[in-house]
Structure 1
Amino acid sequence: MKIAFYGSSLLSAYWNGAATYYRGLLRALAARDYQITFYEPDVYQRQQNRDIDPPEWCSVVVYEGTIEAQKNVAVDAALADIVIKASGVGFEDDLLLQQVMKAARPEALKIFWDVDAPATLAELKGSSEHPLRRALAGLDMVLTYGGGDPVVQAYRSVGATNCIPIYNALDPETHHPVAADRRFDADLGFLGNRLPDREARVESFFLEPAASSRDLRFLLGGSGWQDKQMAPNVNYVGHVPTRDHNAFNVTPKAVLNISRESMAQNGFSPATRVFEAAGAGACLITDHWEGIELFLKPGDEVLVARDGRDVGDILAGLTAEHAADIGWSALQRVLRDHTYEHRAVEVDRLFRSHFGRKEAAE
């Protein structure tokens, strides 16, 4: 079956946290004989900061960030059996949704794939005339980056026929244990871009513990933090390309996951960083959010902090041996239960079930 996928970027993770999610899931679907074309706009300097070249398992069409160029690629939806428009493409999202679903054949499976459901739902609830809200009735399903029952129920309340979370996972070919790298030597590392609904939590869970633990070394990676005030024991290394993520995760004694505010409040939304770190065998400390135990076992496979003081207490008592044990246990868990191959089996079942029901009804 042919998939036309309209998303932010497959080729670049620059200001694009969904990149590894797209890559892992679509590569696993391609291995199940799906023919995929990914359409991404040339915006936000992503093409100047590519992490990968176009892969063998997926065709990639990069189009200019103009209305005319977008219109030209939207008509390609007519060639696909499955048409997917992701959230957060970054250029005229509402118009793109309208264009691709209008171009899709009547018998095609039409999907909105939301990679930031809590934020999207807040917009929908605030506007009864939101373009996506009006479009939901014409879509076959909404798939989400995560969110559990709260997101499912919320989407149904605003008109979605069906909503299914497809959680982040591990791509073992991309994220795996490597040798330590002196560039990333630290007691605690955090990797994440500076975003409005994450910044206060980064201050609380990372920068404040750093200021209170001057005898420890802290490592900060990600875009946008260059003018942020931070203690002298914080080493800011800027944007970290995906090729260095494994080394960033395994070199510090521990790495920290800090959820965005909306995802922490909603729960059931593990970030890609959770599985990347676990896949590298890193000792992960995560901020608390509802549902963490569905993915990793607190205390054995992940360490959980409810605030910055917890982070400091965990670091004070964390030995290198204990950190290694946590990382090893996390790696075994995600390889067993949480790879993109596992997720692709679920998605493939959804797609084939939909087409089976349509054939039975004809």
Structure 2
Amino acid sequence: MKIVIFGLTISSSWGNGHATLWRGLCKHLVRLGHTIVFFERDLPYYAGARDIHELPGGELKLFSDWESVRPIANQDLRDADIAIVTSYCPDAIAATDLILMEGRTLPVFYDLDTPVTLSRIVAGETVPYIGPRGLADFDLVLSFTGGPRISHEFRSRLGARHIEPLYGHVDTDIHRPVPPLPHYRADLSYLGTYSDDRQRTLEALFVAPARDRHDLRFLIGGAQYPDDFPWSPNIYFVRHLPPSEHAAFFASSRLTLNVTRRAMAQMGWCPSGRLFEAAACGVPILSDSWEGIETFFAPGDEILLAKDEDDTLAALAMPDAELRRIARRGRERTIDRHTSDKRANELVAMFERAASVRVRQQQPEEV
């Protein structure tokens, strides 16, 4: 198949979770024999931290404005089988209109920010990447979040007809156990872009324990942290890490923390790609809890859960052997269920099901 994608970014992993996920998916779709064309608006803040400049086995088409790229996109759509528009794509509505006007390709919407989308819809706010007809014109809607609410919410509020979850995943070619590096050494690490709605949980599960355990080393990696972040002398900071450095960052940690954005945690069934990345690197994970987490990892056996500072301190006090066992079990579960190659196969199967439904609907009824 030829798959054309209109997305936020695949070229820069700075300050967003989309790029790493798309890189893993696209690589394995190409390995399955499919052709990928990714359209990305050349935004200054991503251009300044671009960490890939081409899409191996596919095409990355950067453009400055929609009108200039519209004829090129139209040409690519003429022989495409699948056309995907994603959440936070700056030209999502224009791209959707073009796909529907062309009319031949299977139109797909992939919401990599489902809880944010639905929270804004419920609040009556405008969602800039969804047009006035909602999702009614897409043959397939993919959601980064699963659980019992998603199908109902997308159908009732946005008119979606066919909804399937496509969860986060990890590219094990990049995220795998590697030797630790001294400058990333930490008793507890946290890798994530700064977010206001994670701050309260991060302070409870990371900052407060750091103040209590001055004898331990804490490390944060990420972008956009404000000057007034509550640092302490034993909290160290690494500004934005490209994916190539993630494995060494995680492998140098005795324990790593996962904190979920508020809207995702409230909705549940929301594993971030970062959760699987850490597990694939062989580090034990301490995470905030949310409904459905046991669907992805067994608490106490493959992952540790925390609701307050005491839980973090208890995890830090666990014997090394027990932490290694949890890390091993978490990695086994990830390799078995949550890799980019498995998601690529899942995605192809979803395309085939949606295409089959479309063909049946287009066939004339028997008289």
TM-score range, shorter chain: over 0.9
CA contact (8 A) 1:267 1:290 kept: yes
CA distance in 2, matches of 1:98, 1:350: 20
Opposite residue 112 of structure 1, the aligned amino acid is: F
CA distance in 2, matches of 1:284, 1:77: 42
Q: Does 1:173 align with 2:170?
A: no
Between 1:192-201 and 1:258-267, the stretch displaced more is 192-201
Opposite residue 98 of structure 2, the aligned amino acid is: V
Instruction: Show the counterpart of 1:60.
Output: 60
Instruction: Show the counterpart of 2:153.
Output: 154
CA contact (8 A) 1:112 1:139 kept: yes
Q: Does 1:106 align with 2:103?
A: yes
CA distance in 2, matches of 1:120, 1:133: 14
CA contact (8 A) 2:78 2:104 kept: no
Instruction: Show the counterpart of 1:271.
Output: 272
Determine helix, strand or coil for the equivalent of 1:132: coil
How big is the shift at 1:44?
Answer: 4.3
CA contact (8 A) 1:178 1:246 kept: yes
How big is the shift at 1:274?
Answer: 0.7
Between 1:264-273 and 1:300-309, the stretch displaced more is 300-309
User: Given the superposition, is the C-alpha separation of residues 138 and 312 from structure 1 closer, same or farther in structure 2, using an over 3 Å criterion?
Assistant: same
Opposite residue 100 of structure 1, the aligned amino acid is: L
Matches within 5 A, 1:115-134: 115-127=112-124, 131-132=130-131, 134=133
CA distance in 2, matches of 1:177, 1:129: 43
CA distance in 1, matches of 2:187, 2:100: 52
CA contact (8 A) 1:189 1:218 kept: yes
**TM-score of the two chains, using structure 1 as the length reference:** 0.92
CA distance in 2, matches of 1:71, 1:208: 51
Matches within 5 A, 1:1-362: 1-64=1-64, 66-69=65-68, 71-75=70-74, 76-89=76-89, 91-93=90-92, 95-103=93-101, 105-127=102-124, 131-132=130-131, 134-158=133-157, 159-227=159-227, 228-315=229-316, 317-360=317-360, 361-362=362-363
CA distance in 1, matches of 2:131, 2:114: 12
CA distance in 2, matches of 1:355, 1:331: 34
How big is the shift at 1:295?
Answer: 1.1
Determine helix, strand or coil for the equivalent of 2:55: coil
Between 1:306-315 and 1:294-303, the stretch displaced more is 306-315
CA distance in 1, matches of 2:248, 2:323: 16
Give CA-to-partner distance per residue, 1:255-285, whole Å, 9 cap, x none.
Answer: 1000000011111001111110011111111
Determine helix, strand or coil for the equivalent of 2:148: helix
CA distance in 2, matches of 1:9, 1:213: 39
Give CA-to-partner distance per residue, 1:126-149, whole Å, 9 cap, x none.
Answer: 339764352311111210112322
Opposite residue 321 of structure 1, the aligned amino acid is: A
Q: Structure 1 runs of 4+ off > 4 angstroms?
A: 128-131
**TM-score of the two chains, using structure 2 as the length reference:** 0.91
CA distance in 1, matches of 2:326, 2:46: 35
Give CA-to-partner distance per residue, 1:313-348, whole Å, 9 cap, x none.
Answer: 211x22222222211111111111221222222211
Q: Which runs of 5+ in 2 are unaligned?
A: none
CA contact (8 A) 2:257 2:287 kept: yes
CA distance in 1, matches of 2:125, 2:281: 44
CA contact (8 A) 1:74 1:96 kept: no
CA contact (8 A) 2:99 2:105 kept: no
How big is the shift at 1:204?
Answer: 2.1
CA distance in 2, matches of 1:129, 1:258: 27
Aligned residues, how many? Answer: 357
CA distance in 2, matches of 1:308, 1:52: 38
CA contact (8 A) 2:85 2:96 kept: no
CA distance in 2, matches of 1:203, 1:68: 45
Determine helix, strand or coil for the equivalent of 1:174: coil
CA contact (8 A) 2:140 2:354 kept: no
Give CA-to-partner distance per residue, 1:5-53, whole Å, 9 cap, x none.
Answer: 0111112101121111111122222222221101111114212312234
CA distance in 1, matches of 2:66, 2:342: 37
CA distance in 2, matches of 1:129, 1:54: 33
How big is the shift at 1:70?
Answer: 5.2
Between 1:204-213 and 1:217-226, the stretch displaced more is 204-213
Determine helix, strand or coil for the equivalent of 1:296: coil
User: Given the superposition, is the C-alpha separation of residues 241 and 120 from structure 1 closer, same or farther in structure 2, using an over 3 Å criterion?
Assistant: same
Determine helix, strand or coil for the equivalent of 1:12: coil
CA distance in 2, matches of 1:344, 1:9: 18
CA RMSD of aligned residues (A): 2.0
CA distance in 1, matches of 2:100, 2:318: 56
Opposite residue 46 of structure 1, the aligned amino acid is: Y
Determine helix, strand or coil for the equivalent of 2:63: strand
Q: Which runs of 5+ in 1 are unaligned?
A: none
